[in-house]
Structure 1
Amino acid sequence: MELLKDRIKEDMKAAMKGGDKARLAVIRLIMAAIKQLEVDERIELDNDQIIAVLDKMVKQRRESIRQYSGANRMDLAEVEEAEILVIQDYLPQALTEQEIDQMVAEAVEQSGAESVKDMGKVMGLLRNKMQGRADMSIVSAKIKAVLAG
């Protein structure tokens, strides 16, 4: 299995050679985040852990976009959106709306959840399966809707 980190390094070299400064900057941010966690934890990250790092980076940028849009700073929001596009290149294929709905329904049934109080059980089942493939805030809202209904 190809290591995601190796692919990111190769893309960094290609961006340097191609003079794609915007993409290079984002890839360097990705590598810095990976290296930071590896140094802090004294481990070599595997693909799942790298996906978790990338997912966190996307989540941070979505929050920044929300704040920039609220402050009417669309120039900054557009920069964040461009960064998300680069980061998403390294995440697994995003789940469709129907796939998310189906996985939520299966997890609710599997966990035996009956109310919103049981939401943690359902999220626990879905988090690893959906990491990097779906916006977990949307998944959370879907779970609430199913459990409340």
Structure 2
Amino acid sequence: MSLLNQLNDDMKQAMRDKDKEKLSVIRMVKASLQNEAIHLGVDTLKEEDELTILSRELKQRNDSLKEFTNAGRDDLVEKIEKEIEILQVYMPKQLSEEEIEDIVLDTINEVNANSKKDFGKVMGAIMPKVKGKADGAFVQKLVQKHLQ
């Protein structure tokens, strides 16, 4: 089932359940997907593009969560945590730290990287492999750790 179909089904269910928060998040994601499709000039997005949009929405909420937590806005922290929980349902299964580290080490060997100068080359090769399945900042830290 495509993401858009799943979102439509979940939106209908959220309407039946009168779950305003879930409905709001689903509508927002659908709007982002439709805006991106219009921007790219296509009728339907590829799965990769959908994943990029979902990742971007999740990252925005994680950034907001940090800001609200630092500002002591507990009312907004709760709301953002609920939105993150709803969004994560649509994300692929996240890789474990060990799996990410294995991918990092394999990629470093693949591109024959041996110094910090090769950081960009390694990151460019890794990110398509872990897109949507791992936090980019965590991947970056691992690459830096192994390229010393």
Using the size of structure 2 for normalisation, the TM-score is: 0.94
Aligned counterparts of 1:119 and 1:77: Cα–Cα separation in 2: 35
2:25 is matched by which residue type in structure 1? V
Secondary structure, aligned partner of 2:147: helix
Deviations 1:76-102 (A, max 9, x none): 122112111111111111101110111
Alignment of 1:117-132 (within 5 A): 117-132=117-132
Deviations 1:25-56 (A, max 9, x none): 11011001101111111112121110110001
Say whether 1:6 aligns with 2:5: yes
Secondary structure, aligned partner of 2:58: helix
Tell me what 1:30 maps to.
29
Pair 1:117–1:77, CA change in 2 (3 A): farther
Q: Where in structure 1 do 4 or more consecutive aligned residues deviate above 6 Å?
A: none
More deviation, 29-38/115-124: 115-124
Aligned counterparts of 2:108 and 2:135: Cα–Cα separation in 1: 18
Tell me what 2:38 maps to.
39
2:130 is matched by which residue type in structure 1? M
Tell me what 2:81 maps to.
81
Gaps of 5+ in 2: none
2:6 is matched by which residue type in structure 1? R
1:18 is matched by which residue type in structure 2? D
Root-mean-square deviation over aligned CA pairs: 1.1
* Alpha-carbon contact 1:3-1:46 (below 8 Å) kept: no
The count of corresponding residues between Structure 1 and Structure 2 is 147
More deviation, 70-79/90-99: 70-79
2:26 is matched by which residue type in structure 1? I
Using the size of structure 1 for normalisation, the TM-score is: 0.93
Tell me what 1:133 maps to.
133
* Alpha-carbon contact 1:5-1:47 (below 8 Å) kept: no
Aligned counterparts of 1:13 and 1:128: Cα–Cα separation in 2: 33
Shift of 1:5: 1.4
1:14 is matched by which residue type in structure 2? Q
Shift of 1:66: 1.3
Shift of 1:64: 0.9
2:140 is matched by which residue type in structure 1? S
Q: Identity, % of aligned pairs?
A: 34
Aligned counterparts of 1:84 and 1:60: Cα–Cα separation in 2: 10
Tell me what 1:65 maps to.
65
Aligned counterparts of 1:109 and 1:129: Cα–Cα separation in 2: 15
